[in-house]
Structure 1
Amino acid sequence: MTAEDFVRAHTIVATAPLVPEIRLHLASEITPIWQASEEWLKARNIEPPFWAFAWPGGQATARLLLDEPARVAGKRVLDFAAGCGIAAIAAARSGAAMVEAAEIDPLALAAVRLNAALAGVTVATPEGDVVGSPCRWDVILAGDVCYEAPMTAHILPWLRAMAASGAEVLLADPGRAYLPREGLAPISRHAVPTTLELEDRTLREVTLFRLLP
Structure 2
Amino acid sequence: MSAPTLTEFVLANTTLTPVPLVPEVVLHSAAEAMDLWELTHHDQPPFWAFPWAGGQALARHLLDNAGLVRDKKVFDLACGSGLVAIAAALAGADSVTANDIDPLALTAVQLNAAANGVAVTVLGDDQLDSDAHGADVVLAGDAFYDAAITALVLPFLLRAAARGALVLLGDPDRAHLPPGRFAAQARYEVPVPMTLESTETRGATVWRV
Q: TM-score range by the shorter chain?
A: over 0.9
Structure 1: which 5+ runs fail to align? Answer: none
- Residue 187 (1) aligns with residue 185 (2): yes
Where do residues 21-100 of structure 1 align in structure 2 (5 Å cutoff)? 21-38=24-41, 41=42, 47-100=44-97
Q: Distance in 2 between the 1:92 and 1:17 partners?
A: 19
- Computed over aligned residues only, the root mean square deviation of the Cα atoms, in angstroms, reads 1.1
2:196 counterpart SS class: coil
The letter of the residue matching 1:18 is: L
- Equivalent AA in structure 2 for residue 100 of structure 1: T
1:174 maps to 172
TM-score (norm 2): 0.95
* Paired residue secondary structure (1:90): helix
Distance across 2 between alignment mates of 1:95 and 1:52: 25
What secondary structure does 1:197 align onto?
A: helix
For 1:77 and 1:197, locate their aligned partners in 2 and report how far apart those are by CA, in whole Å: 31
More moved, 71-80 vs 23-32: 23-32
Contact map agreement 1:91 1:99 (CA 8 A) in 2: yes
The residue that corresponds to 2:113 in the other structure is 116
TM-aligned CA deviation for residue 50 of structure 1: 1.1
Could you tell me how far 1:33 is from its partner in structure 2?
1.1
Asked if the contact 1:47–1:105 (Cα under 8 Å) also holds between the matched residues in 2, the reply is: no
Aligned residues: 205
For residue 48 of structure 1, report the CA deviation from its aligned partner: 2.6
Q: Is the 8 A contact 2:131 2:159 kept in 1?
A: no
| 3-state SS of paired residue (2:195) | coil
The residue aligned with 2:23 is 20
Corresponding residue for 2:139? 141
CA distance in 1, matches of 2:37, 2:46: 6
The farther-off stretch of 191-200 and 67-76 is: 191-200
Per the TM alignment, residue 191 of structure 1 is displaced from its structure 2 partner at its CA by 0.4
Runs of 4+ in 1 over 2 A off after TM superposition: none
